[in-house]
């Protein structure tokens, strides 16, 4: 999602949400203001790298606001993993709340 405009993102998510039983998984990132100092530095470093190869990150989301938008579209099963949750689930590391800003999102429309 970071490479797409908000309009493109929500048009796509709206289409997906219109299909009963549909599901989507994606990654997204929080804005710099939501991150700790290390997270802001990491964002600046990687954002500069992807911008240099003409793939700038243009869309960022606040988790609670994104969850509300997804629910408003019709998604009724939303799972949002932050960096600490991702490390715990996939790397079997202890869960931490580092506030680095990276997320993996899964949203499903049951009915």
Mean pLDDT score of the chain, rounded to an integer? 91
How far is residue 96 from each of residues 55, 76, 88, measured CA to CA in Å? Answer: 29, 27, 8
Handedness of CA 84, 29, 20, 109 (dihedral sign): positive
Model confidence pLDDT, tens digit, residues 96-105: 666 678 899 9
Tell me the average pLDDT across 76-88.
Answer: 89
- Residues paired with 69 in a beta bridge: none
pLDDT of 64 reads 96
**What pTM was computed for the model?**
0.87
In our burial notation (b when 16+ CB lie closer than 10 A, e otherwise), range 60-85 reads bbeeeebbebbeebbbeeeebbbbbb
> What pLDDT score does 75 carry?
97
Tell me which of 9 and 39 has the higher pLDDT.
Answer: 9
A 10 A CB-CB count for 30 gives 21
pLDDT the model gives residue 99: 64
Structural domain boundaries of the chain?
6-108
């Amino acid at each position: 999602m970071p490479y797409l405009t908000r309009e493109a993102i929500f048009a796509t998510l709206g289409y997906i949400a219109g299909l009963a039983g549909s599901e989507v998984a994606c990654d997204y990132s929080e804005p710099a203001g939501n991150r700790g100092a290390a997270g802001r530095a990491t964002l600046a470093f990687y954002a500069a790298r992807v911008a240099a190869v003409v793939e700038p990150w243009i869309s960022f989301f606040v988790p609670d606001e994104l969850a509300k938008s997804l629910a408003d579209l019709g998604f009724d099963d939303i799972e949002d993993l932050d960096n600490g949750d991702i490390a715990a689930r996939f790397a079997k590391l202890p869960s931490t709340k580092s506030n680095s800003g990276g997320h993996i999102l899964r949203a499903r429309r049951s009915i």
